[in-house]
């Protein structure tokens, strides 16, 4: 099986994945170290809470480990892993725990990508945007996150989600329309 890898040290990653599949559990630690920040950031954009994002990131890596043998190489490994992260967050949003706490989840507004403080105007805008993203259906949210925040192409998202490119486009359009509507109504 040939794996598509995006890193310049792709052969090393390929070797690590093969070692894990051969039973060397310790090698999976290297995968976690390589991708933990991206997985956390992907989930954090969806849930807006550090503790919850960390918990879901751990769950993502557990799921990835359990299902590593299903990685077919149709997409890059990082894309496959971020899809698992998105699904893990979507599963949380569909859970009873989320429905019970939907109105009490605090939004952590400190950016993990920028050390600059957020002024009060930006705070309100970010609050509205995060609430709007959280209110999207899981199908719309995952396409929005993958296309807009993870900057995946429509084609990559289509392969990842096993849907046509046209569906990716329509879901992204619907997500953006919903965000515009919720953003300007508040």
Q: What is the pLDDT of residue 80?
A: 87
- Mean pLDDT in residue range 10-14: 72
Identify the CA nearest to 113 among candidates 36, 60, 38, 179. Answer: 38
Domain-embedded: residue 4: no
Rounded Cα–Cα distance for residues 16 and 132 (Å): 39
Identify the CA nearest to 41 among candidates 20, 29, 57, 24. Answer: 57
Domain-embedded: residue 121: yes
Rounded Cα–Cα distance for residues 88 and 163 (Å): 19
Phi, psi at residue 168, to the nearest 5°?
-60, -50
- Mean pLDDT in residue range 136-160: 86
Domain-embedded: residue 60: yes
Output 167 or 106, whichever has higher pLDDT. 167
Q: Which H/E stretch holds residue 144?
A: helix 138-144
> At residue 184, does pLDDT exceed 60?
yes
Domain with 114 in it: what CATH number?
Answer: 1.10.1740.10
Rounded Cα–Cα distance for residues 143 and 100 (Å): 25
What is the per-residue pLDDT across 41-84, written as a single tens digit (0 to 9) for each?
988 887 878 888 999 999 999 999 999 988 877 777 888 898 89
| Sequence-ordered list of residues with C-beta below 8 angstroms from that of 174, at least 6 positions apart, any chain | 140
Domain-embedded: residue 38: yes
What are the structure tokens assigned to 106, written together? 């605090």
Domain-embedded: residue 42: yes
Average model confidence (pLDDT) for the chain? Answer: 78
Q: What is the pLDDT of residue 57?
A: 94
Rounded Cα–Cα distance for residues 42 and 152 (Å): 12
Domain-embedded: residue 2: no
| Sequence-ordered list of residues with C-beta below 8 angstroms from that of 76, at least 6 positions apart, any chain | 4, 5, 6, 156
Q: State pTM to two decimals.
A: 0.58
- Mean pLDDT in residue range 126-141: 81
Burial class of residue 181, CB neighbours in 10 A (0-12, 13-18, 19+): exposed
Domain-embedded: residue 171: yes
Is the distance from CB of 44 to CB of 27 less than 8 angstroms?
no
Domain-embedded: residue 146: yes
Number of domains in the chain: 1
């Amino acid at each position: 099986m040939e794996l598509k890898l995006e890193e310049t040290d792709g052969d090393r990653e390929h070797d690590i994945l093969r070692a894990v599949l051969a039973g060397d559990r310790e090698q999976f630690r290297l995968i976690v170290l390589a991708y933990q920040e991206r997985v956390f950031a992907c989930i954090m954009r969806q849930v807006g809470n550090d503790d919850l994002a960390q918990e879901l990131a751990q769950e993502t890596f557990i799921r990835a480990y359990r299902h590593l043998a299903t990685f077919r190489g149709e997409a890059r490994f990082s894309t496959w892993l971020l899809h698992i992260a998105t699904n893990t967050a979507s599963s949380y949003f569909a859970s009873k725990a989320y429905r019970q706490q939907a109105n009490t989840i605090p939004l952590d507004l400190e950016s993990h990508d920028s050390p600059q403080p957020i002024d009060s105007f930006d705070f309100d805008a970010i609050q509205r945007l995060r609430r709007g993203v959280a209110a999207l259906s899981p199908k719309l949210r995952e396409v929005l996150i993958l296309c807009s925040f993870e900057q995946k192409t429509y084609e990559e998202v289509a392969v990842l989600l096993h849907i046509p490119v046209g569906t990716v486009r329509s879901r992204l359009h619907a997500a953006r329309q919903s965000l515009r509507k919720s953003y300007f109504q508040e």
